[in-house]
Structure 1
Amino acid sequence: MTRVKLRQKPISNGQESHYLDIYPPIAHPITGELKRKYFLHLHTYLNPKNNVEKLHNIETLKLVEYRKAERLIDIQNKNYDFLIKKRISDFTEFFQAEANKRPDSYNWQMAVRYFQNFCGKNLPFIELDYPTCEQFRNFLLSNPSIGRYERKISLNTASSYFDKFRNTIKSAFNNKYILTDFSTMLKGIKLEETHRCFLFLHELQSMADAKCESQLVKKAGLFSALTGFRFSDIKNLVWGDIQGYKGSFYIIYKQSKTGNAEYYPISDKTLEILGIPKDNNEKVFEGIKYDDVIKFLKPWLKNAGINKYFTFHGFRHTFATLQLASGTSIYTISKLLGHRNLKTTEIYTKIIDSVAREASLKIKLDFD
């Protein structure tokens, strides 16, 4: 019967490293080499000097015992895969791995960048605690935006990044990297109602007429304004998703954000924007990057004579607003946008009400 004992090895800085002594040794699943020592990559202080170091030891030893129990179960089941898996010991690395599962999510990548900006490149799991999580929340609420130091990130952006951080905490807990699920203790950042940037019809026409240094960005922007597609869905769109015949074309695709399968009718005119069809598995917007959108959108707006804050996502808002203004029912718009909740779509009715009020105030009569 295989025996497993917990042992320690002195290392630098007055600490000791914990490892499992396995006897008789077990064979590496790939190389066949016999392995007796399995290091847990967890360290404690030999002589803790203060309360912080004492608390560190208490929490780490709990984790050591937990990992030992995990390995015992593996060994009893003759599952030695843990010998070939490099277990992530750093939370920042784990956060990046979670973001990489969503390669088309700009917000996930930015959430990781902000966390790295907050704590540096590395934060061992053992150093992740509730105060650190709260400090990151405060950091998001107060720190200037990366790359645009003259303005802070918006409250809603901070909320989005913190939600992704909390999701990562929960994933780390579910995967046994940490023993406490801090995500259940952390308050989210409350969203504030914002002004949704959009283009009036004449402004959208000006964009269509104006020169853009990137035809790919221009094509993507106009397509979004005519369909309401998000950038992530535009980036993933392949020619095989477009089906039908003249007068009855439609797109069948899975939304990147929600994962929902969608059926979307499109006009022949909208299809013309996309150009000559290619092989089914080829991307419709091959090579498009959000960095290019950031680079070329502002000059394109300037060429169109539009001087207001506007992002690529504003094309989606433009679609919804113009559809609502033209009389399309809010239920139809909600379905076209792929909203799960009608209340999300109802935000656009406030935009229309605001625009209507502004227009009515411009009508003035002089009379005695």
Structure 2
Amino acid sequence: MARVRKPQKVKEPIRLRMKNLSDGSKSLYLDIYRDGKRTYEYLKMYIIPETNNNARKQNQVTMDAANAIKSKRIIELTSGEAGFENREKIYLLDWMNTYKENQAKRGKKDGSQIKVAIGILKTFAGERTTMDQIDKTFCQGYIDYLLTEYRPKGKRVSNYTLKCYYRVLDGALNSAVRAEIIKVNPFTKIEKSDKIRLPESKRSYMTIEEVRALIATPMKHEEVKNAYLFSCFCGLRISDVIGLKWKDVFMDRGQYRLAVSMQKTKDPVYLPLSPEALKWMPERGDKTSSDPVFDLPSPTYVNVLLKDWAKAAGISKRFSFHTSRHTFATMMLTLGADLYTTSKLLGHADVKMTQVYAKIVNRKKDEAVNLVNGLFD
């Protein structure tokens, strides 16, 4: 009798797999293998421990939904709807390295962040992912991977750091659009609520009473004190104060102004100087136009000196030179300057960057009106 051969099992191009998570649940993802290349799609779906009947039912619903997505992907893959056949094969990791080199040529100092992001992408998607496979699902999967599974040395990193690695890929894809490698950056299709969110930034600033206390408190390094108070009344960063030359100070129709190229943004800004700001500028004497206005030590030592000075003035809040910039912004808004004008004085590229100070002022208003609570009971 002839031996009956068992039907050969056909390997699926896409398999549904699970990854164990630290909380006992399992993350579902698709293992996609095509033309000798392996990629992964994280589904943002989770199997929970089956501690009761409801958990078992929930897991069954989740598995049914995951298998439906898997079936859809297989149809797309085999029918060519995903466009694999017609586009030039450019590997994601190759493009990331090209992007890293281009950033270095432009003088950008984000090479170390890009290097880490390349390592994350290699773990997340493998080495054979091509640019034509980067879609909204891939980008959302990358965000979810950063938030739920990326654990260097077994520890979760802050959202500030994760945001950097998200921005690296976002920037690389924007660059790919400009190079006509892809038509659109898929990150633009993702809702803001689904991206990596940062806690609201806290701005430490001095109140008018605290500025008065600082003015009244002597400091051994008088130049540092003067530079800090000068910034309280014009909003310059420490890098801009250090870089300020006498040639940058000029008179325009009876108004003293500064011509400053912001160290952070490189944008030129023309700032009017109030009499209060001028009060803290040193005398020019015989200094040349190329001499610095303020003769300051290193920024690190400046902040050491400032902390001792603040302590002597009775100020216990977080204190550094940058609080002078925050102080200027909140003071302007508190005294009635509008948001747009304050934004321009700070040299912000977008007024949205200045809105955090408006929130501070609004909180101060809320606190002020509530001071009367209980007075008339």
TM-score normalised over the length of structure 1:
0.54
Q: How does 1:59-74 map to 2 (within 5 A)?
A: 62=88
- Name the counterpart of 2:158: 152
| CA distance 1:90–1:279, shift in 2 (3 Å) | farther
| CA distance 1:251–1:215, shift in 2 (3 Å) | same
SS in 1 for 2:260: strand
| CA distance 1:238–1:201, shift in 2 (3 Å) | same
Select which of 358, 361, 368 maps to 1:359.
Answer: 368
Residue 222 (structure 1) shift:
2.8
Alignment partner of 1:252 is 2:254: no
Note the alpha carbon deviations across 1:60-96, whole angstroms, 9 max, x for none.
Answer: x9569x9xxxxxxxxxxxxxxxxxxxxxx79468537
- Name the counterpart of 2:62: none
Note the alpha carbon deviations across 1:142-188, whole angstroms, 9 max, x for none.
Answer: 799x9xx998354xx75466435532443366468xx4578544755
Alignment partner of 1:322 is 2:331: yes
Q: How does 1:1-368 map to 2 (within 5 A)?
A: 51=33, 54-55=36-37, 62=88, 91=96, 95=100, 98=103, 101=106, 109=109, 112-117=111-116, 137=143, 152=158, 154=160, 159=163, 162-163=166-167, 166-171=170-175, 174=178, 179-180=181-182, 183-185=185-187, 187=190, 189-190=196-197, 193-209=200-216, 218-244=225-251, 248-256=255-263, 260-277=267-284, 278-284=287-293, 291=300, 298-310=307-319, 312-339=321-348, 344-363=353-372
Residue 242 (structure 1) shift:
1.1
Residue 99 (structure 1) shift:
6.2
- Name the counterpart of 2:44: none
Contact map agreement 1:198 1:314 (CA 8 A) in 2: yes
Residue 243 (structure 1) shift:
0.7
CA distance in 1, matches of 2:168, 2:304: 26
Q: Which structure's CA Rg is the greater one?
A: 2
Contact map agreement 1:250 1:264 (CA 8 A) in 2: yes
Residue 319 (structure 1) shift:
0.8
What is the root-mean-square deviation in Å for CA atoms of aligned residues?
5.3
| CA distance 1:166–1:367, shift in 2 (3 Å) | closer
Contact map agreement 1:167 1:183 (CA 8 A) in 2: no
| CA distance 1:165–1:211, shift in 2 (3 Å) | farther
TM-score normalised over the length of structure 2:
0.53
- Name the counterpart of 1:38: none
CA distance in 2, matches of 1:139, 1:282: 51
CA distance in 2, matches of 1:303, 1:119: 48
Contact map agreement 2:96 2:172 (CA 8 A) in 1: no
Residue 233 (structure 1) shift:
3.8
CA distance in 2, matches of 1:262, 1:235: 16
Q: Which runs of 5+ in 2 are unaligned?
A: 1-31, 39-83
Contact map agreement 2:37 2:129 (CA 8 A) in 1: no
What is the letter of the counterpart of residue 337 of structure 1?
Answer: L
SS in 2 for 1:263: strand
Residue 201 (structure 1) shift:
1.2
Identity %: 27
SS in 2 for 1:308: coil
| CA distance 1:237–1:99, shift in 2 (3 Å) | farther
CA distance in 2, matches of 1:120, 1:219: 47
| CA distance 1:115–1:304, shift in 2 (3 Å) | farther
Residue 210 (structure 1) shift:
5.0
- Name the counterpart of 1:36: none
Residue 250 (structure 1) shift:
0.5
Residue 321 (structure 1) shift:
1.3
- Name the counterpart of 1:37: none
Q: Which has the higher strand share?
A: 1
What is the letter of the counterpart of residue 37 of structure 2?
Answer: L
| CA distance 1:194–1:269, shift in 2 (3 Å) | closer
Residue 227 (structure 1) shift:
0.8
| CA distance 1:241–1:142, shift in 2 (3 Å) | farther
CA distance in 2, matches of 1:337, 1:284: 20
What is the letter of the counterpart of residue 152 of structure 1?
Answer: S
| Equivalent residues, number | 284
CA distance in 1, matches of 2:149, 2:209: 38
| CA distance 1:293–1:116, shift in 2 (3 Å) | farther
Note the alpha carbon deviations across 1:83-113, whole angstroms, 9 max, x for none.
Answer: xxxxxx794685376268467xxxxx4x544
What is the letter of the counterpart of residue 167 of structure 2?
Answer: D
SS in 2 for 1:362: helix
What is the letter of the counterpart of residue 170 of structure 2?
Answer: R
CA distance in 2, matches of 1:297, 1:112: 33
Residue 325 (structure 1) shift:
2.1
SS in 2 for 1:198: coil
Contact map agreement 1:243 1:250 (CA 8 A) in 2: yes
What is the letter of the counterpart of residue 54 of structure 1?
Answer: G
117-126 or 322-331, which moves further after superposition? Answer: 117-126
Residue 237 (structure 1) shift:
3.2
CA distance in 1, matches of 2:249, 2:271: 9
